[in-house]
């Protein structure tokens, strides 16, 4: 593993660090906005008083914290693999280059000793999963790897009720921030009541440290609503999502190609509007994650929340 100097220094001194995924850059957003967003997310983490650690596998080496040159190269390179739990070790063993999904970023963060990670949305149970069995490895990772993930919920391309049921079955805390429903990515609220609600970063940090102290495996999903000004109403997106899903089915898109295909089609069909909202919510998540990282650091210095 190669850590950037900045990340290595922060981890050695106990300064706050926020992990960031790279699949959102390579498979989640189009060039060149992807590079711009990746840089802005890193700046936002810094402005929040934490060190950003974007994670990726480059030529067989796991990088935790990318130089700007590596970030730029990754953002425009063709043929970068999409790595989840199933393929990250194989990619490293064979000298490959790949971007990390939520699951693989959690694995990288844990290896480096990073507690918290910010992204846009997690993978989940796909619509029609009762036939396709397509359930993202992100869900199981959340139940196994002790990293707190800040996201704006999950996209409506998924079957959201089934996604939340699976997380409950797996014992993953789903914490809505400052509201009683689970946010639905482009929309701040949803009809799904949140299993847990917290209004302060310090509470989320305390719950994270408490889980660690109890030896509970797995992380927490912090579901942070998109800022109201950036929301897209669900009614506006429903026909677009339905069209993208129909096209995916007609073209036989399957397995790990499904999520990138749907995201790309929705960006095209909304003429970039979905991307603007996506950018706003990722930055909002980076801000909250930096705050939680600081609170976790303060609790660790004080000996944790257990008296």
- Residue 141 as a binder of Mn ion (CB under 5 A): the answer is no
Contact with Mn ion (CB under 5 A): which of 134, 138, 141, 295? 134
- What b/e string do you get for 245-270 counting C-beta neighbours within 10 Å, with b at 16 or more? beebeeeebeebebbebbbebbbebb
Cβ closest to Mn ion, residue 101 vs residue 220: 101
* Three-class DSSP category at 220: strand
**Annotation marks residue 155 as catalytic:** yes
Q: Rounded to 5 degrees, what are φ and ψ at 150?
A: -100, 120
- Give binding residues as ranges: 82, 102, 134, 136-138
Nearest to 101 by CA among 152, 137, 127: 137
Q: Is the peptide bond before 32 cis (omega within 30 degrees of 0)?
A: yes
Contact with ligand PSU (CB under 6 A): which of 48, 52, 123, 183? 123
- CA distances (Å), origin 297, targets 13, 21, 300: 10, 21, 5
Contact with ligand PSU (CB under 6 A): which of 121, 146, 153, 297? 121
- Residue 138 as a binder of ligand PSU (CB under 6 A): the answer is yes
Residue whose beta carbon is closest to ligand PSU: 28
Cβ closest to ligand PSU, residue 111 vs residue 213: 111
Nearest to 101 by CA among 1, 22, 190: 22
Contacts (CB under 6 A) with ligand PSU, residues 202-261: 256, 259
Q: How far is the CB of 136 from ligand PSU (least distance, A)?
A: 3
Q: Give which of Mn ion, ligand PSU, none residue 65 binds (C-beta under 5 to 8 Å, depending on kind).
A: none
Cβ closest to ligand PSU, residue 75 vs residue 102: 102
Cβ closest to ligand PSU, residue 127 vs residue 287: 127
Give the number of other CB atoms < 10 A from CB of residue 217: 11
Which sequence positions are flagged as catalytic?
21, 155
């Amino acid at each position: 593993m190669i850590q950037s100097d900045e990340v290595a220094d922060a981890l050695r001194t106990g300064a706050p660090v926020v992990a960031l995924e790279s699949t959102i850059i390579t498979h989640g957003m189009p060039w060149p906005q992807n590079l711009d967003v990746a840089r802005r997310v890193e700046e936002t983490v810094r402005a929040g008083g934490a060190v950003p650690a974007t994670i990726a596998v480059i030529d067989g080496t796991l990088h935790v914290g990318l130089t700007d040159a590596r970030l730029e190269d990754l953002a425009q390179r063709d043929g970068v693999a999409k790595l989840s739990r199933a393929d990250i070790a194989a990619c490293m063993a064979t000298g490959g280059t790949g971007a990390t999904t939520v699951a693989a970023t959690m694995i990288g963060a844990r290896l480096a000793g990073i507690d918290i990670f910010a992204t846009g949305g997690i993978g989940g149970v796909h619509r029609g999963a009762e036939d396709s069995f397509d359930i993202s490895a992100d869900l199981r990772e959340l139940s196994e790897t002790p990293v707190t993930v800040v996201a704006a919920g999950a996209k409506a391309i998924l079957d959201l009720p089934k996604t939340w049921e699976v997380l409950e079955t797996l014992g993953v805390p789903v914490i809505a921030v400052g509201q009683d429903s689970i946010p639905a990515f482009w929309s701040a609220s949803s009809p799904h009541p949140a299993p847990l609600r917290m209004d302060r970063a310090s509470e989320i940090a305390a719950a994270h440290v408490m889980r660690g102290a109890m030896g509970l495996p797995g992380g927490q999903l912090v579901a942070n609503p998109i800022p109201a000004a950036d929301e897209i109403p669900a009614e506006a997106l429903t026909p677009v999502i339905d069209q993208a899903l129909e096209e995916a089915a007609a073209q036989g898109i399957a397995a790990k190609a499904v999520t990138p295909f749907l995201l790309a089609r929705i960006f095209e069909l909304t003429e970039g509007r979905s991307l603007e909202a996506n950018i706003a919510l990722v930055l909002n998540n980076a801000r909250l994650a930096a705050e939680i990282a600081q609170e976790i650091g303060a609790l660790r210095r004080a000996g944790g929340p257990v008296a």
